[in-house]
Amino acid sequence: MQLSSILRPAAVKVVANVSSKKRLFQDLGDIVAGTYGLDAAAAFAALQERENLGPTGVGHGIALPHARMPGLDHVVGAFLRIEKPVDFDSVDRQPVDLVFALFAPDGSGVEHLKALALVSRTMRDPGVMAKLRANTDPETLHTILTEDHATRAA
């Protein structure tokens, strides 16, 4: 599995400001609706439901929200780089500026976990984090995320 099979270039965005975690989830819902044809409200609700189980802010300014949704046949992703970090109830209490969201089909156990592990490894790489924070062009961000050296199979 590679990130290029999960993340389309159109699902990579840079936003100046997000007022709240709820607004962030709404933005992610809009992105996956426009890029993958998912229902924006259903994507938002799925993210909210998963977040209620425990925060997906993993620390160091990174959040990995994820949810399962009916109607998907494979895992898809969306990435946001937020210029003004937003409070996310992260484990280290730091605001978030890099968000990689995953949406998996209902009943996709192993595929969802492999995708989450792949994204987690990629986003924990200090070199990748630095490059993501140093760039504001969505195409460049997509390239950074999908480079082979950063996306070895899970």
Residue 144 — pLDDT band, cuts 50, 70, 90? very high
Whether the predicted pLDDT of 63 surpasses 70: yes
Which pLDDT score is estimated for 148?
62
| Interval 100-129: pLDDT, tens | 999 999 877 788 788 888 888 898 899 999
Please identify which of the residues 60, 66, 112, 149 carries the catalytic annotation: 66
DSSP class of residue 107 equals T
Residue 91 has pLDDT above 90, yes or no: no
pLDDT tens figures, 68-77? 988 888 899 9
Instruction: Please tell me the distance from the alpha carbon of residue 151 to that of residue 154, in angstroms, as a whole number.
Output: 8
Q: How would residue 151 be classed by pLDDT, with cut points 50, 70 and 90? A: very low
All residues at 6 or more sequence positions from 2 whose CB lies less than 8 Å from its CB, including other chains: 118, 146, 148, 151, 153
Give the pLDDT score at 114.
87
b/e sequence 13-27, b meaning 16+ C-beta within 10 Å: beeeebeebeebbbb
**Residue 23 to residue 80: CA distance in whole angstroms:** 12
Nearby residues of 41 by Cβ (< 8 Å), 6 or more positions away: 29
| Beta carbons within 8 Å of 105's beta carbon, 6+ residues apart | 68, 69, 70, 71, 72, 73, 74, 75, 111, 112
Task: Note if 66 is an active site residue.
Answer: yes
Which one-letter amino acid corresponds to residue 51? E
Q: Which of 79, 99, 98, 63 is CA-nearest to residue 8?
A: 79
The topology (CATH level 3) of 3-150 is Mannitol-specific EII; Chain A (3.40.930)
Strands 12-17 and 57-59: unpaired
